[in-house]
Structure 1
Amino acid sequence: MALQAERDRGTGFLLLPISAGAGVVAYFTRAQETGWLPLLLALCLLSVMRWWLRERYYWASIVMLAIFFQLGMLSGKLETWRYSTAMVGSDVTTRLTGRVVGLEAQYSGGWRLTIDVLSTQRPVLRYAPERLRMTARDIPAQTEIGSTLTGLVRLRPHSGPVRPGNYDFAFNSFFKGNGGNGFYLGTPALAESTSINGVGATFSYAIATLRYIVGSRVTSVVSGEDGAIAAALISGQRDGISERTNEALRNSGLAHVLSISGLHLALAAGVVIIGFRMVASLFPSFAARHPIKKYAAIAALFSSAFYLALSGSDVAAQRSFVMIMVMLVALLFDRAALSIRNLAIAALIAFITAPHEVLGPSFQMSFSATAGLIAAFAWWSDTNSGAFKEDKPQTRKNPTRMKKWLLPVVATAATSIIAGVASGIYSAYHFNNTAPFGLLGNVLSMPVISLIIMPFAVLSLLLMPLQLDWLPLQIMGFGVWALRQIADIVASIAPDGNPGIIPSGAILNWTIALVIAVICTTRLRALSLIFVLVGFLFYFYETDPDIMIAEDAKLVAVRLNDGSLAVNRPRVSKFTMQNWSKAYDAHAIVPPVVADSKKNGTYSDDAFYCEEKICSITLKDGRMLSYTDEPEMVNFACNIGDVVVLAVAGKELKCPSGDKLIVTRRELALKGALEVRLGVQSTGQQALKKMRVAGERVTPVFEPDNEHSLGSEDDFPDEVSGLMHIDMSEAMRTHENANMDDVEHASSQITMPVSLAGAGRQLYYNDQLTYSVGEPQRPWHLYRLYSRAARGLADYAAPKAKTDQKLSE
């Protein structure tokens, strides 16, 4: 039986980290925080059941999976409790004194600093965060790691996902201990440095100082963007790289090169192992008496640990180091280094050290690619070993010179295909990018990375204390230049690989399919095809949203029939708009039309029309969306629109008529960005009661009214449409002080032929609303409760001054 064969091969052990990972995901994706008591009680109960079922293998195995699922949830809970990061809740201006623990020069100019908060003044923050990410246009020339800076700053809370399912800055910053971000209002001043207490803090500052020195040395030897990329590969500092280069690397499938992870640590460890054994071979008598391979593995383990610390010990690098460490330890004990069991052990360790990374693209892409490669290598080895057993030795032929040259190319191509397919689903989900020519980019760049960039990066680090690193850094810089050229060429010919939105149901089914294909060795692998097909069903039946609203309520986008996005502002957030354009596969961005443009004959129905501080647009179902950010225009916006976005301060904002979809600034501040999918269901025999003025169009709404019925259902055709041309600005001037009922009464007095849509029926709209955060009940989202928008208060502007001296006065 297939199940018995899988049991004999130890497949059950591989399910344990998978179950633990599912528990981690379940904990972090819950809408509400889970208490300690339910988790511990459930674990105790499952442990008793496991002991009771100890003689029933299959039932005991199921209970064991449930235990690891519960352990995964406990791991997430423990990590959340361990960090408990204090976070900025609202914009605030204060005088900040803090110690510099991170210092990076930005490509566009200025500096990005990581600051440990020492004190705040005017006002003193009662719940001040311990660490902040700040930017400054200029800093004192003597600033270095460990320096203390003081100055007036504007602090801001972290933003949430720009759309549902997207990267959550607040979530990831919470688990980095980063409580907020902001910028200096002027140039900060150096203050008297305070002593650093604790061995751990002293070590951290020493590593940060070393990172800054190494990065500065690399950029001083290798100038320009090549130096910035070389510094990123060695010290992990990536702020000096332009967006153009980042985009080229993403489109060519080489974005993983900039993220210090498994590839870099594996290459660095490989260079150390090969170099150590080459040096040892120069002393034959020593090499013959000692286990050189194990010595090389120990040297590689220490060098990988140093590289991890130098790169900033990012969580992704930590996870990669765990994988490398497990494999090197396996070498020390004469076990197979590259096996799926070692990968499972590495995953379990990762769930203990940084469980929140399970939800991140780095963890998902790295582990999926590694698992796919290990499974493919095991299948290839089993296939060839069986063929060699059947083949006679004398019939085997030595490979020709052509095959020897082609073998590395074919191996690299196969590796790129397997890793690309395994990790590509997560790249599409998180980044809306599949890099169709990623295979070509990786095949062309891998020799440059493995033979030029990484070996000379390791050599430059070894020679840097002796001031002999100039030549290897120059060679590394040449490799980086060649890498950029490859990325530019491949990106220029690569087609658009944007798959649009990948629904969570699709990614879940494809993950299950990948797990089955990787861990199973029998015909049970065929089950993965079922989940692949189900995932495609989720993907193809997912509908794009019709309305997108940013969490600050300033930006609203409406999807048009041609796939483009109409926006309500001429100047929009570049980051948000780029993300929306990719995710929703928008062909163009349609700016709003102002009142003067209409008079000049440039008005279009497929755009927001803005007049008198109100913007409106006709939706695809005939309803009108209205938007305003002025409190005095709320009633008019309610009268105009069937879908109303009120970007004004207040807690109890609502329209007098209750049959409208209303989205308020406070609601978005609490729940995050919003996607609206329009839906309609018609029912009943109704009569026409009133019509609402909607810009240049009248949208009929049908409700039962026995006194003012214009006729029965038979008096009207099933589908009729029409326009009533009204000067909205004139209506507003006429009823400047009128309420909404007065405006509706005035509009009903206009007598001119009007065509009706769906007369005799009332339409009930079942719109689907999806928020990016939902109710803020998790620790990393509680700061939303204290924002000015959530408290119904208006924003206040930061103080303006020319110098920091004036600001302090």
Structure 2
Amino acid sequence: MRRGETRVRLTRWLAAQAEAQRHTGLLWAPVALGAGIAGYFSLPAEPPAALAWGLGALALAGAGLLAAFRRGGLPMLAMLCLLGGAVAALHTGRLSAPVLERTHFGPVVGRIVGFDRSQGNRLRLLLDRVHLPGVAAADTPARVRVVLGDDPDPQVARPGARVMMRARLTPPPEPVEPGGFDFRRWAWFLRLGAIGYTAEPVVLAEPHPGGLAGVPLLSLRMRLADAIRGQMPARSGGFAAAILTGDRSTVDPQDLVGLRASNLAHLLAISGLHMGLLTGVVFACVRLGLALLPDVALRLPVKKIAAVAALLAGAGYLALSGASIATQRAFIMAAAIFGAVLVDRPALTLRAVALAALAVLLWRPVSLLGPGFQMSFAATTALIAVYDALRRVGWWQALARGGWRWGRAVAALVLTSAVAGLATAPYSAFHFNQMAQYGLLANVLAVPAMGLLVMPAALLALLLWPLGLQGLGFGLMEIGIDHILNVAGWVARQEAPMTPVPTGPPWVLGVLTLGALMLIALRGPLRAAGPVLVAVALAGWAASERPLVLLDPEGRLVGVRTVAGRALSRPRGAGFAAQVWLENDGDAADQTAAAGRAPPGAPWRVALPDGAAVLLVEDETVPPALCGAAVLLIAPRASRPPAAPACAFVGAAQLARGGAHAWRAGALAAPVTTRATEGARPWTRRPAAAAR
């Protein structure tokens, strides 16, 4: 009898909890869709296109039937999960493009369709309509990116110009450690088939370059960026051109360092903040202007007209700024918010955020894996949830009345920066391996200038430009930009402005995000599971260990984790692998310092805590005497192991088959390799020449 009563009570409790969640289904729709997308990207092999089409059709039919019979819940979420995987697979196939098969050194001809700066502040050209002598047209990449040794003649390197140069091109590189960031996947979804470098001049390939019709917006952006820089001093002009046109090529490198160290670099990326500020200013100005006209205000839907004007302004900003992925995502979110205004629904709600996330994921599923998507939606979701909760707090509402109104505005400013910073901190730390010590302070001091002065002044300058009065707007912009850059520089000069953070296991962000969403979206006692999952994720991150030994895919660098930090086998060369390893370790040392952690002598040898040792031999032949039972012997140039080997051995053949290697403590005989973990995906296919 007691058992029956317990079962009845449990059933009633579960039914009550299900009823409490009845109105939260839309909030979980992007979670289900994202789960399907994440599942697709974790597959060991690429599914056939026919299977993707079939699953997509099944998911749509199932969702349609469930909607027709007013059934939702878990079955609908399951359909969305299937749809996410299918959409991701079809999106991958749609972007298929040739990837360079082997290193190319020689003439490169192509049309300029993009400019930016490398990490070393070198100008980079993005080329399409590429021609590589000696490479078949079917094997020629759709796009290549070339870093220039010196800035070219502006009359040559202009949008739409067909140029020629001698360059060294290589296929997109593979990860420098198993499970690490895969540049090949990122390049695949940009249809980027090769990257390279040239130290020689760039010349016109045709006397009168054509193709400008294909890049009119880029040409307009470049001309506008030059005009903006002509209106302001170099320092503030470069920043202004970056936030209005997306051209960051003239931002002062020292300012870039300061912006990153102060956690203000997001002000340069045209994303949700900029789109929100611009469309918000347009919405407020149009609505206020029309409200001042009684005849118009009484006869027309002023609020909806303002929303349409804001959407048009956002679309123009999207085109003018280069329509980067982050800007497109921001426009979709703005469209969801102002679309809600047009249909007389509350604008700033979690439902609007969910609809925007659904739109972004359906349009570009790979966005789910990027820090931009994760941080943008984390901040927006957290802010809406917090301010929605504050509506039910009496003392917070009381601050809006009487003499405390300005105090509440200041408190809201600090609270917004704090909530956004806390919401995005785990994602920033996971992807960039660092946290800004003074990020909250810097944002509180700088972001108001961006919202109250810089963006409104930018809009004023653009509106007054046809009248020749743009100087007023640009003058105000200069004041705000100088303040932002001064704050960034002051923070960067503080002692240890950045704290390095070791990377965590891949599951951490998923569990942490699920826990945070459960806390926000669920109703009733089930919400208590949210903080538990967040704690589990953070504990798993803290307890995770980095690999004991790492070997880069070309065999040029070995890194061994020691008590003092990772010891590297060389102070120069393979610098990218060294930088990534140290950053993933949460180690602030540079390559030279890390190389000094290994004892001197040849061959390079580092002892492990358990008494074993790692040896690196650069010769083509390995003396058998070096090989012992407790030795990991790495010989990248050796074609065969030493006679009767008694040690774990990695030579040229193992390196060619496995790529980058990683060894965990106590498992020197069982390395994990990139090729074993990456799967057979379109972006991991190895050229035939490299496979041999």
> Offset at 1:631?
2.2
% identity of equivalent residues: 31
The change in CA–CA distance for 1:105 and 1:212 in structure 2 (over 3 A counts) is: farther
* DSSP-derived class of the 2:677 partner: coil
Q: Where do 5+ consecutive residues of structure 1 fail to align?
A: 389-395, 595-603, 681-764, 792-809
Question: 1:135 and 1:412 mapped to 2: Cα distance?
Answer: 41
> Offset at 1:511?
1.2
5 Å-filtered alignment, 1:238-257, equals 238-242=248-252, 244-257=254-267
Q: Which residue of 1 aligns with 2:376?
A: 366
Q: Where do 5+ consecutive residues of structure 2 fail to align?
A: 1-12
The change in CA–CA distance for 1:228 and 1:415 in structure 2 (over 3 A counts) is: same
* DSSP-derived class of the 1:523 partner: helix
Matched, 1:32 2:45: yes
Give the letter for the 1:411 counterpart: A
Question: 2:306 and 2:61 mapped to 1: Cα distance?
Answer: 46
Tell me if structure 1 keeps the 8 A contact 2:102–2:687.
Answer: no
5 Å-filtered alignment, 1:649-728, equals 653-657=640-644, 659-664=646-651, 668=655, 672-679=659-666
> Offset at 1:134?
1.2
Q: Which residue of 2 aligns with 1:509?
A: 511
Matched, 1:376 2:389: no
* DSSP-derived class of the 1:102 partner: strand
Tell me if structure 1 keeps the 8 A contact 2:629–2:646.
Answer: no
* DSSP-derived class of the 2:111 partner: strand
* DSSP-derived class of the 1:631 partner: coil
Question: 2:210 and 2:589 mapped to 1: Cα distance?
Answer: 55
5 Å-filtered alignment, 1:156-235, equals 156-192=170-206, 193=208, 195-196=210-211, 202=213, 205-235=215-245
Question: 2:594 and 2:501 mapped to 1: Cα distance?
Answer: 31
Tell me if structure 2 keeps the 8 A contact 1:679–1:768.
Answer: no
The change in CA–CA distance for 1:108 and 1:252 in structure 2 (over 3 A counts) is: closer
Question: 2:676 and 2:489 mapped to 1: Cα distance?
Answer: 37
* DSSP-derived class of the 2:193 partner: coil
> Offset at 1:642?
2.0
> Offset at 1:217?
1.9
5 Å-filtered alignment, 1:20-419, equals 20-42=33-55, 61-104=73-116, 111-122=123-134, 127-136=139-148, 137-143=150-156, 144-192=158-206, 193=208, 195-196=210-211, 202=213, 205-242=215-252, 244-384=254-394, 399-401=401-403, 403-419=404-420
The one-character-per-residue Cα deviations of 1:604-653 (angstroms, maximum 9, x if unpaired) are 9x515453xx4222223222222234424586765798212232386xx4
Q: Which residue of 1 aligns with 2:556?
A: 554
Question: 2:105 and 2:399 mapped to 1: Cα distance?
Answer: 76
Matched, 1:631 2:629: no
**If the length of structure 2 is used for normalisation, what is the TM-score?**
0.89
Tell me if structure 2 keeps the 8 A contact 1:549–1:557.
Answer: yes
Give the letter for the 1:474 counterpart: G
Q: Which residue of 2 aligns with 1:719?
A: none
Tell me if structure 1 keeps the 8 A contact 2:179–2:674.
Answer: no
Give the letter for the 1:546 counterpart: L
Question: 1:443 and 1:481 mapped to 2: Cα distance?
Answer: 16
Tell me if structure 2 keeps the 8 A contact 1:513–1:531.
Answer: yes
* DSSP-derived class of the 2:435 partner: coil
Q: Which residue of 1 aligns with 2:540?
A: 538
Q: Which residue of 1 aligns with 2:585?
A: 584
Range with greater deviation from structure 2 (443-452 or 498-507): 498-507
> Offset at 1:489?
2.4
* DSSP-derived class of the 1:774 partner: helix
5 Å-filtered alignment, 1:755-770, equals 767=670, 769=672
Tell me if structure 1 keeps the 8 A contact 2:98–2:138.
Answer: no
Question: 1:463 and 1:90 mapped to 2: Cα distance?
Answer: 53
Q: Which residue of 2 aligns with 1:749?
A: none
Question: 2:675 and 2:424 mapped to 1: Cα distance?
Answer: 24
* DSSP-derived class of the 1:97 partner: strand
Give the letter for the 1:353 counterpart: W
Tell me which of 779, 789, 793 is aligned to 2:682.
779
Tell me if structure 1 keeps the 8 A contact 2:170–2:196.
Answer: yes
Range with greater deviation from structure 2 (72-81 or 171-180): 171-180
The change in CA–CA distance for 1:398 and 1:243 in structure 2 (over 3 A counts) is: closer
Give the letter for the 2:269 counterpart: S
* DSSP-derived class of the 1:503 partner: coil
> Offset at 1:355?
0.5
Tell me which of 615, 619, 623 is aligned to 2:604.
615
The one-character-per-residue Cα deviations of 1:471-493 (angstroms, maximum 9, x if unpaired) are 32232233222112212223425
The one-character-per-residue Cα deviations of 1:536-562 (angstroms, maximum 9, x if unpaired) are 331232112222222222121212212
The change in CA–CA distance for 1:415 and 1:119 in structure 2 (over 3 A counts) is: same
The change in CA–CA distance for 1:591 and 1:206 in structure 2 (over 3 A counts) is: closer
Range with greater deviation from structure 2 (637-646 or 330-339): 637-646
Q: Which residue of 2 aligns with 1:11?
A: 24
The change in CA–CA distance for 1:247 and 1:336 in structure 2 (over 3 A counts) is: same
> Offset at 1:230?
1.8
The one-character-per-residue Cα deviations of 1:510-543 (angstroms, maximum 9, x if unpaired) are 1110110121233321111221222133123211
> Offset at 1:499?
2.9
The change in CA–CA distance for 1:343 and 1:96 in structure 2 (over 3 A counts) is: same
Question: 1:505 and 1:519 mapped to 2: Cα distance?
Answer: 21
The change in CA–CA distance for 1:275 and 1:142 in structure 2 (over 3 A counts) is: same
Tell me if structure 1 keeps the 8 A contact 2:144–2:192.
Answer: yes
Give the letter for the 2:663 counterpart: V
Question: 1:397 and 1:361 mapped to 2: Cα distance?
Answer: 36
Tell me if structure 2 keeps the 8 A contact 1:107–1:242.
Answer: no
Tell me if structure 2 keeps the 8 A contact 1:569–1:592.
Answer: no
The change in CA–CA distance for 1:560 and 1:338 in structure 2 (over 3 A counts) is: same
Tell me if structure 1 keeps the 8 A contact 2:97–2:141.
Answer: yes
> Offset at 1:249?
2.4
The one-character-per-residue Cα deviations of 1:54-75 (angstroms, maximum 9, x if unpaired) are 99988x6322222111100111
Question: 2:528 and 2:73 mapped to 1: Cα distance?
Answer: 23
5 Å-filtered alignment, 1:386-535, equals 399-401=401-403, 403-491=404-492, 492=494, 496-535=498-537
Tell me if structure 1 keeps the 8 A contact 2:167–2:196.
Answer: yes
> Offset at 1:154?
1.2
Matched, 1:646 2:648: no
Question: 2:400 and 2:120 mapped to 1: Cα distance?
Answer: 56
> Offset at 1:226?
2.8
The change in CA–CA distance for 1:109 and 1:517 in structure 2 (over 3 A counts) is: closer
Question: 2:440 and 2:420 mapped to 1: Cα distance?
Answer: 10
Larger radius of gyration: 1
Question: 2:241 and 2:611 mapped to 1: Cα distance?
Answer: 55
> Offset at 1:81?
0.8
Question: 1:577 and 1:115 mapped to 2: Cα distance?
Answer: 29
Tell me if structure 2 keeps the 8 A contact 1:170–1:780.
Answer: yes
Question: 1:309 and 1:343 mapped to 2: Cα distance?
Answer: 23
Q: Which residue of 1 aligns with 2:5?
A: none
* DSSP-derived class of the 1:497 partner: strand
The change in CA–CA distance for 1:105 and 1:545 in structure 2 (over 3 A counts) is: closer
Tell me if structure 2 keeps the 8 A contact 1:593–1:609.
Answer: no
Question: 2:688 and 2:253 mapped to 1: Cα distance?
Answer: 34
* DSSP-derived class of the 1:96 partner: strand
The alignment of Structure 1 onto Structure 2 pairs a total of residues equal to 674
Q: Which residue of 2 aligns with 1:703?
A: none
Question: 2:104 and 2:611 mapped to 1: Cα distance?
Answer: 42
Give the letter for the 1:18 counterpart: V
> Offset at 1:333?
1.5
> Offset at 1:350?
0.9
Tell me if structure 2 keeps the 8 A contact 1:94–1:124.
Answer: no
Question: 1:554 and 1:445 mapped to 2: Cα distance?
Answer: 43
